[in-house]
Amino acid sequence: EAEVAQSPRYKITEKSQAVAFWCDPISGHATLYWYRQILGQGPELLVQFQDESVVDDSQLPKDRFSAERLKGVDSTLKIQPAELGDSAMYLCASSFEGYNEQFFGPGTRLTVL
Amino acid sequence: KQEVTQIPAALSVPEGENLVLNCSFTDSAIYNLQWFRQDPGKGLTSLLLIQSSQREQTSGRLNASLDKSSGRSTLYIAASQPGDSATYLCAALYSNDYKLSFGAGTTVTVRA
């Protein structure tokens, strides 16, 4: 069964360091999402791609976060520099189109010390 | 703001009891509503998706209903098992921006 892949699964870093997360969506899914989930809360959208284009990054802290999907397939989310408040689960999801069912990857648990 | 609320935040039931999980949303202009399961420290697993034109959707022991007029969805899990212990989240996709708005989830514990 097709799945969304993410790596790494866990990341521990010190504040002010740079971190990067990778996501490979389900083959054929044009829409890719990055979410951040704080413990005890629902996920919140950081950025949405349609193919290689950013559709929505209104909630992405652009002073430290960046995201790219250069060839319209896999995607990288970067944080530089990391802050203590960035500790969270980072989830990637994909869908065939922006209004279809979303499928999530296993997530990356980030801890900033 | 398009809000999604799940009450209660947690519940505990004995094995075999039917589970009823509630989800309410503030805007009836939804495109679809999705129910997810999340195990501790894991990603989200899609359980059921209900289109706005549908009233319910079923998969095995799971049944989800949608009432747009009252702004509610309910997930029923029949004959609960300890393996059903997890956090269940609902998310509404709104027609105006096609963004998923999530509830905070209901954490379920099924006691053996």
The answer to whether the CB of B83 falls within 8 A of the CB of B76 is no
Size of interface A-B (CB pairs under 8 A): 48
d(CA A37, CA A23) in angstroms, rounded, equals: 16
The answer to whether the CB of A30 falls within 8 A of the CB of A50 is yes
The DSSP letter of residue B17 is P
B14-56 pLDDT, tens per residue?
999 999 999 999 877 899 999 999 999 999 999 999 999 999 9
A55-76 pLDDT, tens per residue?
999 999 999 999 999 888 999 9
Chain A residue with minimum CA distance to B93: A99
d(CA B106, CA A3) in angstroms, rounded, equals: 25
pLDDT (0 to 100) of residue B1? 65
Which residue of A33, A41, A47, A92 is the best one to mutate when testing the B interface, meaning the one whose CB has the most B CBs within 10 A? A41
Give the length of chain A: 113
